[in-house]
């Protein structure tokens, strides 16, 4: 039983050993639906699209720490998936839509970011409310906080996520990435492929995608227990037969 559990646990964690992961857990509730027009072009994760693959350029090795994981850039309204404003560092913004009917019973979620361990980068993930984004300066009429009309859309379950990557070290000279980056070993040769996944937390702590793995481990443990019982019972029978045979042989010798 012990070895079966250990084997399944190793299989579960081996896949994560070749990748780095950054996780942000958050709680969501209904909030005012600000009409923030410039977020309509942002990539969106929802119950209909829970994961996204993206190539994100990492910030330079000497990027000041004070510029990382801070409040939103004041020129965020100029950001789009293909263009970063001059005063903002390189980052990815996502809209997180939890209004789907299948997710309506969940209040806690997790946003998980994964990338290959061969890329020497640190990741910063921060979750924002609509009220954090709506007051930012932007072109348009003086009244910047608008509400969409209609009672069914007055309150929504929505958050925004910002992902930042920063280079943290010199590439290994023998690595494939270093060979591609011929000009400067401190710079990555290109964007970092990342995978972003949004999912609800069962019981407030357990990611939904982990459930099949737990079922697999549980099934392996049950099978291990059944096999162990059969083996132990067989060994006990063999020991009893051996003792009986030995006792019978000893009694014949004494006669």
Q: What is the torsion angle, in degrees rounded to the nearest 10, for the CA atoms of residue 212, residue 217, residue 219 and residue 223?
A: 160
Q: Residue 230: its pLDDT value, please?
A: 83
In a domain, 228, yes or no: no
In a domain, 239, yes or no: no
In a domain, 221, yes or no: no
In a domain, 1, yes or no: no
CA-wise closest residue to 158 among 56, 13, 21, 29: 29
With beta carbons less than 8 A apart as the criterion, state whether 1 and 221 touch: yes
Other beta carbons less than 10 A from residue 209's beta carbon: 13
Q: Residue 32: its pLDDT value, please?
A: 84
Tokens of 156: 């929504």
Q: Residue 197: its pLDDT value, please?
A: 96
pTM for this entry: 0.72
Mean pLDDT in each 10-residue stretch from start to end of the chain (255 residues)?
Answer: 45 55 93 85 94 94 85 88 86 94 92 91 94 79 48 77 89 59 65 95 74 72 83 82 70 55
In a domain, 232, yes or no: no
With beta carbons less than 8 A apart as the criterion, state whether 111 and 23 touch: yes
In a domain, 215, yes or no: no
Distance of CA 143 to the CA centre of its chain: 37
Other beta carbons less than 10 A from residue 203's beta carbon: 6
In a domain, 251, yes or no: no
Per the structure, the complete domain to which residue 197 belongs is given by: 11-209
Q: Residue 252: its pLDDT value, please?
A: 53
Q: What does the alpha-carbon distance between residue 163 and residue 199 come to, in Å, rounded to a whole number?
A: 17
Q: Residue 10: its pLDDT value, please?
A: 45
Q: What is the torsion angle, in degrees rounded to the nearest 10, for the CA atoms of residue 164, residue 20, residue 103 and residue 45?
A: 40
Q: How many domains does the chain have?
A: 1
């Amino acid at each position: 039983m012990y070895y079966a559990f250990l084997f399944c646990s190793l299989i579960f964690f081996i896949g994560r050993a070749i990748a780095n992961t950054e996780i942000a857990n958050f709680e969501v509730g209904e909030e005012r639906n600000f009409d923030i027009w410039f977020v309509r072009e942002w990539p969106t994760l929802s119950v209909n699209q829970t994961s996204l693959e993206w190539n994100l350029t990492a910030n330079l090795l000497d990027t000041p720490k004070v510029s990382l994981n801070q409040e939103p850039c004041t020129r965020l309204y100029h950001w789009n998936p293909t263009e970063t404003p001059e005063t903002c560092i390189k980052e990815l913004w996502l809209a997180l839509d939890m209004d789907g009917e299948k997710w309506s019973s969940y209040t806690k979620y997790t946003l998980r970011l994964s990338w290959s361990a061969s890329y020497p980068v640190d990741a910063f993930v921060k979750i924002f409310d609509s009220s954090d984004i709506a007051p930012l300066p932007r072109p348009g009429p003086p009244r910047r906080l608008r509400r969409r009309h209609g009672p069914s859309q007055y309150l929504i379950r929505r958050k925004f996520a910002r992902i930042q990557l920063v280079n943290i070290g010199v590439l290994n000279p023998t690595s494939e990435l270093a060979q591609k980056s011929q000009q400067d070993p401190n710079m990555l040769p290109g964007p970092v492929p990342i995978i972003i996944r949004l999912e609800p937390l069962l019981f407030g702590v357990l990611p939904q995608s982990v459930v099949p793995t737990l079922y697999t481990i549980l099934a392996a443990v049950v099978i291990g227990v059944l096999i162990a019982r059969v083996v132990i019972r067989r060994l006990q029978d063999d020991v009893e037969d051996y003792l009986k045979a030995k006792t019978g042989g000893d009694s014949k010798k004494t006669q």
